[in-house]
Amino acid sequence: MSLVTADSRVTLHFELSLEDGQVVDSNFDQAPAQFVFGDGNLLPAFEEVLIGMQAGDEASFVMSPEKAFGAPNENNIQRISRSQFSMDLEEGMVVSFADAANNELPGVIAEIGDQDVTVDFNHPLAGRSLTYRVRVVAVEEAS
């Protein structure tokens, strides 16, 4: 029976839920996900807790904001002139922006003023503790 190591390809079901139990992401009712350790598909802390697990193992872990999506950063909240938007805006909507390297950067409309719009570029789960539930389906050596 293979154990998860830093050289593994892991197939698993996972679920992320908030402190109040609200599920924000899950694939338990779908095909399992597969990743190679260190490929960037999972946050490092989400990978680390899998080390030593094997196919059939199931566990839950509470991930602090620092281990999950970080603490909110005030520098990630920007005021943008309302004239820059050519669409109807609503608080809470997600708008896609381009950063300096022309990569897509989602921002949440936090506040709409007469002149400015406040946009929050923090990850929507920043500052939240998450419960990370996993069931390991298969473990293979990554080639």
**pTM of the predicted structure, to 2 decimals:** 0.77
- Best CATH choice for the domain 8-69+125-141 from the list 3.40.50.2020, 3.10.50.40, 3.40.50.2000, 3.40.50.1100: 3.10.50.40
Per-residue pLDDT of the chain (143 residues; tens, 9 = 90+): 799 999 999 999 999 999 999 999 999 999 999 999 999 888 899 999 999 999 999 999 999 999 999 999 999 999 999 999 989 999 999 999 888 888 888 999 999 999 999 999 999 899 999 999 999 999 999 87
Per-residue confidence (pLDDT) for residue 98, from 0 to 100:
86
- pLDDT, position 58: 98
Contact 142, 7 (CB under 8 A): yes
- In the chain, what are the domain boundaries? 8-69+125-141, 74-120
- What's the CA gap between 24 and 49, in Å, rounded? 20
Say how far apart CA 89 and CA 110 lie, in whole Å.
Answer: 10
What pLDDT does residue 124 have?
87
pLDDT at 103 (0 to 100):
87
CATH class of 74-120: mainly beta
